[in-house]
Amino acid sequence: MFQLPTKMTPILLQGITTEMGAVHVERALAYGGNIVAGTSRDRSVKLYADIPVFGSVKEAVRKTNPAISVVFSTPARALQDTEEAIRARIPTVICTTEHVPLHDILKMINLARKYQVTLIGPSSPGIVRVGECLAGSIPAHLFPKGNIGLIGRSSSLIYESVQQLAEVGLGVSTCLSLGASPLVGTSFASVFDSFLADKETRALLVIGQLTGDFELGLAEAYRKSHRKKPLVVYIPGQTIQGALHIPLLGTESAIPEKIIAEKKAALEKAGCIWISNATELGRTVYNQLKSV
Amino acid sequence: MIIKEYQVKKLFKKEGIPLLKGQVAYMPHEAEQVAEAIGGSAWVVKAQVSADGRSSAHFANQKESGPTGICWANSPQMVAALSEQMLGHRLMTNDTPDGHIVQRVYVEEACFGQAEYRLSLRVNFLTQQLSLSVYTAGNIMRQYELPEYKLTTERINTIVSHLRLSGKKAKEMKDLLRHLMNLFQQYQAVAVEFDPVWETEKGLVVLDGRIIFNDDALFRVPELKALRELEAGQERQMIARRHQFRYTKFNGNIACLVNGIGLSQATVDLIHQNGGRVACLLDVGTEPSRDAVARALKLALSDPGVDGVFVNIFGGVTRCDIIVQGLLSAAGEILAGLPIVVRMDGTNANIGRRLLFESRLPFTVVKGMGEGIKEIIRQVKGVS
């Protein structure tokens, strides 16, 4: 089962010497997480910013036993790099790469299921446990610490919600992006329990997506949960009409208005709070917390 | 990326799929010659546009009783006459309010037989798996999930037995299913469909089909890039692709330049909810170059339908200072006088805002997304 990271969670950075990897190292080190190792294709690099660098994930796992691997790669190599981490059975693998070919994502998802690894992404900026650790490229320095658990699909809209929370005096406990790609390895429902169990999280803000049916699974998980924490959901694209994104949606009957209506109905029926105005993310969460 | 029927059929033919005789034509007399070369006593003339529903779509300049996008002809002269009515005209399909200008027709031998099947193999975004749908007459569908990313012989046999096929017909169906999977994998497609498959005296024949390509996988199959045609009305999409940002057209007058799909869609929602109308969405993504931002802004400002631009950036990996450098390098166009409202927060936002201020160009810099939306809607009202 997926677990939220802490200050002690050992993190591996695959592709530590890539441009994105370097940006991350700088941010993550400044943030104070427990980065135990890196991997690089450049065999001459043994140490990077005082972090031991290995030639393969297998070797890194043997010597440092990480619980999370963050993959920095190119669209062409993301499958290969992510597979390496999955086969090494690292419990949580975060693929940050954008524009990964869909067939490669399918293969990643299937492999992660087979090895029972939590695959976050592709196209995920990662996870931040505010004040403790950062695994990914989230600008965590902008996140005030607080009691709101934040789960989303995108990146910039998540940062927007953090700002809105800050404006009403709220902060974030843990923020996780499942990835913006139309296919991703992990659903809202499969990480929901870990946020429910988290003592620091008093309410949840979820930023959904038109594509897929993760919000329906979330509604079901929320309905079944014993402990209730306020759950507020916003899905962007509510006013998009017609057949604009049909190829992405994948089924002929998938019309944006219908999808939104179905998700809204399921979530509201389960007791979640639906937001239709993207400038009221912070305010709505605030009102929900006040009424508890 | 979606391609047209005649291009799809070229790929089908290469794969060895049984098709009807047909050829593309650009001029009415050429279409007539194609019909004569194919022979027979009846033909079908099909408008070549990348959209579904052609047989029920009408042309913008003609009455409801006029031709649709797919017409039957019983002489080569009629083929020419129908081509004349299609070529250069706008076919109003449901996928876009503008319709598509027909630049080519496909002339095909008429087929006598029965519509029997429709085979569809696609990435299913709901189940997050590969799924194969098999439709039989009466639109009855059976769906098979393929978690292994394979279509095994065993699975093919199951499908054929569900269809209660035997003998020659069973073999033909098995071949079609294998072709479907081959095409899907070879071209890294989002979807491949044989629609419809007819039962004729020559056996099972694929009358039409579609392939939807995954833009992110085109680097693996470079030969497909050559199939991308410059279509009338699609020039802006081509420019966006070339410079690596996403362009989506709407019907209003406010252009939105945003980073990331979530924030993009939220911005569109807010403009609509506040009584504004979006002209187009320019999503520059997570790590845009200066050049991409400059091109996106120029594209917006050069569109006669655009009365103002709302720039909404929340920097994470995206650096606001890079965005501003991009905006400023389109300075020549900015002086043309359309309102540009900029909202900017996150990584290097202070540097970005300072650069905007120092440029002395007529940007309106706002605090927050809500304020920005109201401001652009107000300013655009003043323009139009």
CA distance A292 to chain B (A): 27
Of A139, A248, A278, the CB nearest to B346: A139
Tally of CA atoms within 13 A in the half-sphere of B31 that contains its CB: 30
Angle at B161 between CA B158 and CA B165, to 5 degrees: 140
Tell me, what's the pLDDT at B208?
Answer: 93
Tell me, what's the pLDDT at B74?
Answer: 95
Tell me, what's the pLDDT at A254?
Answer: 62
Cβ distance A214 to A189 under 8 Å?
A: yes
Q: Mean pLDDT for each 10-residue chunk of chain A (292 residues)?
A: 92 90 82 92 88 96 97 96 98 95 94 96 95 92 96 94 97 97 94 96 95 92 91 93 49 70 96 96 96 79
Tell me, what's the pLDDT at B12?
Answer: 97
Instruction: For A278, name the nearest residue in chain B, comparing CA atoms only.
Output: B266
* CATH number of the domain located at residue range(s) B114-223 in this protein: 3.30.470.20
B58 beta partners: B68, B92
A48 beta partners: A51
The DSSP secondary structure of A22-41, one letter per residue, reads: HHHHHHHHHHT-EEEEEE-S
d(C-alpha B182, C-alpha A40), whole Å: 35
Q: Do A279 and B270 touch (CB under 8 A)?
A: yes
CA distance B287 to chain A (A): 10
CA distance A63 to chain B (A): 31
Tell me, what's the pLDDT at A45?
Answer: 86
Residue A138: is it exposed, middle or buried by C-beta count within 10 angstroms (0-12/13-18/19+)?
A: buried
d(C-alpha A280, C-alpha A160), whole Å: 11
Ordered domains of chain A (ranges, CATH): 10-120 (3.40.50.720), 143-291 (3.40.50.261)
Residues of B in contact with A153 (CB under 8 A): 262
Residues of B in contact with A249 (CB under 8 A): 125
Asked whether residue B321 carries a pLDDT value surpassing 90, the answer given is: yes
Instruction: For B347, name the nearest residue in chain A, comparing CA atoms only.
Output: A139
Spatial neighbors of A123 by CB under 8 A, at least 6 apart, are A95, A96, A97, A98, A99, A100, A179, A180, A181, A184
Q: Do B126 and A212 touch (CB under 8 A)?
A: yes
Spatial neighbors of A76 by CB under 8 A, at least 6 apart, are B219, B220
- Listed in order, the ranges of chain B carrying CATH 3.30.1490.20 are 21-109
Tell me, what's the pLDDT at B383?
Answer: 64
Buried b (16+ CB within 10 A) or exposed e, B192-219: bbbbbbbbbeeebbbbbbbbbbbebbbe
d(C-alpha B70, C-alpha B46), whole Å: 4
Of A98, A160, A239, the CB nearest to B273: A239
Tell me, what's the pLDDT at A42?
Answer: 85
- Listed in order, the ranges of chain B carrying CATH 3.30.470.20 are 114-223
Tell me, what's the pLDDT at A243?
Answer: 47
Query: What are the angstrom distances between the C-alpha of B295 and each of A49, B93, B263, B291, B324?
Result: 37, 30, 20, 6, 13
Residues of B in contact with A110 (CB under 8 A): 129, 147-149
Q: Give the residue among B178, B120, B135, B129 at the shortest CA–CA distance from B149.
A: B129
- Listed in order, the ranges of chain B carrying CATH 3.40.50.261 are 235-383
Residues B222-248: tens digit of each pLDDT: 888 778 766 666 788 888 888 889 998
Tell me, what's the pLDDT at A248?
Answer: 47
Residues B133-191: tens digit of each pLDDT: 999 988 889 999 988 788 999 999 999 999 999 999 999 999 999 999 999 999 999 99
CATH homologous superfamily, domain B235-383: Succinyl-CoA synthetase domains (3.40.50.261)
CA distance A277 to chain B (A): 7
Bridge-based pairing of strands A118-120 and B22-25 is unpaired
d(C-alpha B75, C-alpha A169), whole Å: 76
Tell me, what's the pLDDT at A245?
Answer: 45
How much of chain B, in percent, has pLDDT values that exceed 90?
A: 68
d(C-alpha B45, C-alpha B315), whole Å: 52
Residues B103-142: tens digit of each pLDDT: 999 999 998 888 789 999 999 887 788 999 999 988 889 9
Asked whether residue B47 carries a pLDDT value surpassing 60, the answer given is: yes
Residues of A in contact with B272 (CB under 8 A): 239
Query: 3-state DSSP call for residue A150?
Result: strand
B134 beta partners: B119, B142
Tell me, what's the pLDDT at A80?
Answer: 97
d(C-alpha A95, C-alpha B303), whole Å: 38
Cβ distance A116 to A193 under 8 Å?
A: no
Query: A interface mutation test: which of B3, B94, B130, B265 has the most A CBs within 10 A?
Result: B265
Residues of B in contact with A215 (CB under 8 A): none
Tell me, what's the pLDDT at A20?
Answer: 79
Residues B322-362: tens digit of each pLDDT: 999 999 999 877 777 889 999 999 999 999 999 999 998 98
Tell me, what's the pLDDT at A251?
Answer: 46
Bridge-based pairing of strands B22-25 and B105-109 is antiparallel
Angle at B53 between CA B19 and CA A254, to 5 degrees: 110
* CATH number of the domain located at residue range(s) B21-109 in this protein: 3.30.1490.20
Residues B263-319: tens digit of each pLDDT: 999 999 999 999 999 999 999 998 899 999 999 999 999 888 999 999 999 998 889
The sign one gets for the Cα dihedral B73, B74, B76, B81 is negative
d(C-alpha A240, C-alpha A228), whole Å: 32
Tell me, what's the pLDDT at A242?
Answer: 60
